[in-house]
Structure 1
Amino acid sequence: MEFSLSFFVNIIIAIYLFVDARKRGKNPWLWGILGLIFGAIVLGIYFIQTGRRTLGWIIVVLSILWFILALVLGMIGALFGLLI
């Protein structure tokens, strides 16, 4: 379920990046593919590149914190799995 939800979010981000990059004269294929693969962090970098720096930095920082949280929780889960 979570994989499909995150993949769905990445598809939405990729579509947004593709459409908006075309409007702003950027390469839509590059931004769309990067958005599909990396998701929110690319959206934040795109916002920084297009002049919406505050929103871009907020998204970048939150996506990095989310990744670190998932990594730490995964490590804790693996440790508990070894103990049981």
Structure 2
Amino acid sequence: MESLIGFLLSLAFAIFLFIDAPKHNKSRWLWAVLGFIFGPIALGIYFIKTGRKVAGWIITILAILVYVVIIVLIALAAALMVNGFS
């Protein structure tokens, strides 16, 4: 279920960027592929490049923070599995 939600979010980012990119003279295919692969980071960078800097920086910073928290939690879980819970 979680992977379906992630896939649908990536698809939504790609569709939005595919539709919005030509309005700002950007390559629709490039931004759609970037949006599908990198998700909210690509969306934030796109907003920064198209003049919506505040929204772009907010999205980019929040996405990076979420990714860092996920990496730290995975590292913590791996360390606990290796060393045990005692």
> TM-score when scaled to structure 1?
0.94
Partner of 2:47: 47
**Structure 2 counterpart of 1:74, which letter?**
I
CA RMSD of aligned residues (A): 1.0
In percent, how many aligned pairs have the same letter?
46
Asked if 1:34 corresponds to 2:34, the answer is yes
In structure 1, the residue matched to 2:67 is 67
> Which residue does the alignment assign to 2:15?
15
For the residues of structure 2 that align with 1:7 and 1:73, how far apart are their CA atoms?
22
* Pair 1:6 & 2:10 matched: no
Could you say which structure has the larger radius of gyration? 2
Q: Report the more deviating stretch, 37-46 or 74-83.
A: 74-83
Cα-to-partner distance string for 1:38-82 (whole Å, 9 max, x where unaligned): 000000000000000000000000000000000000011111222
Give the number of equivalent residue pairs: 84
TM-score, normalised to structure 2's length?
0.92
**Other structure's SS at 1:19 match:** helix
Deviation at 1:6? 1.2
Alpha-carbon distance between aligned partners in 2 of 1:80 and 1:61, rounded to the nearest angstrom: 28
CA–CA distance in 1 between the matches of 2:54 and 2:17? Answer: 18
Give 1:23 shift: 2.1
Runs of 5+ consecutive residues of structure 1 not aligned to the other structure:
none
Quote how far apart the aligned CAs of 1:22 are. 1.9
